[in-house]
Structure 1
Amino acid sequence: MTRRFAIVTKYQDAGLHLPKRATKQAAGYDFEAAEDFILPTIWKLNFIKLLFGLFKGETMTETDYLTADQALKPLLVPTGIKAYMNHDEYLMLANRSSGPLKRRLILPNGVGVIDADYADNESNEGEIFIQLLNFGVKDVQIKKGERIGQGIFMPFLVTDDDAQDSKQDRVSGFGSTGDKK
């Protein structure tokens, strides 16, 4: 298979750009937002109530903790892009270097891993989303076409006895590997 990017069906007529490297020596392909997106600041979400209550010594309920935990959930910014690669490769998603410093945007999982079988499987076309968390004090407006992350194609190795383990084919999308049926 060839290593390449493609636009998913949903965005075929949206005028998106395929990821590209900005310079000859750049390792990462810049991903753009597929649409305008508001990324709220974590500081105005409900977990502040929990922190304030804990600071004051109040007893928190399990509901308080669950509500605060839900508020800190990262948002998935659509790219409208899918990636094709060889079976022994993956696409590593990473912050753009300016994201945390200039805009206070981070990938809360550190890096994302897009497996070679993510695109065009049984129930998933393979659109890549960039997980982002805004730790700045103001909401961030992300405009369609704005660079929001970068992807680097990487080879990977397996253990010598890996072929002895039975593997399933991927049948779903985001976060589906390792799910029990």
Structure 2
Amino acid sequence: MEISENAALVVVDVQEGFEEEAYWGPRNNPDADQNIAGLIDAWQSSGRPVVFVRHDSPKPDSPLRVDYAGNGFKSYVEERRGKGSGPELFVTKSVNSAFYGEPDLGSWLREGGVRQIVVAGIQTNMCAETTARMGGNLGYEVFFPLDATYTFDGVGPWGWTLSAEELARATAVSLHGGGFARVVRSAELAAAVG
């Protein structure tokens, strides 16, 4: 695996509000937070760029709404912000894709000559997947460490339900099989930049 010296790690929506199980329901991948932290550490120690994305939900009952404690980053993310030797960007958004946030992620990546991005965070099949898909459409080489993401059980049309694990697998198949991103493990990425 070849990871360029300026490949950007995009850490999507790792916020306290996702700890509210009563709101979100059961989740998968209990090791995700440890794996996300490990990727941040690997990127920061290598001097590569890191992007921290926060979802500012416009929904008044969302645990991710502005001016609510759940809007803040999880402590392990907040403690790492500003600690790397490489470039860092903080993006806020109110939709699924980090490419539709402020400041403009695409412009920042282009200015830095970045052609590879790694997308990690929450939720696997929502904002992480949407950001990865859009990155692929925009011509970036996208890596998606599935074990550095997690999601929750979901309900769709006609009463269809999928477990968090089923949704994560569907995301992996769609991204990888559809050519949007290369689905990998976080340890592979950490080794490649170490």
Q: Shorter-normalised TM-score: what interval?
A: under 0.3
Higher helix share: 2
What TM-score results when the alignment is normalised by the length of structure 2?
0.25
- Between Structure 1 and Structure 2, whose CA radius of gyration is higher? 1
Higher strand share: 1
What TM-score results when the alignment is normalised by the length of structure 1?
0.27
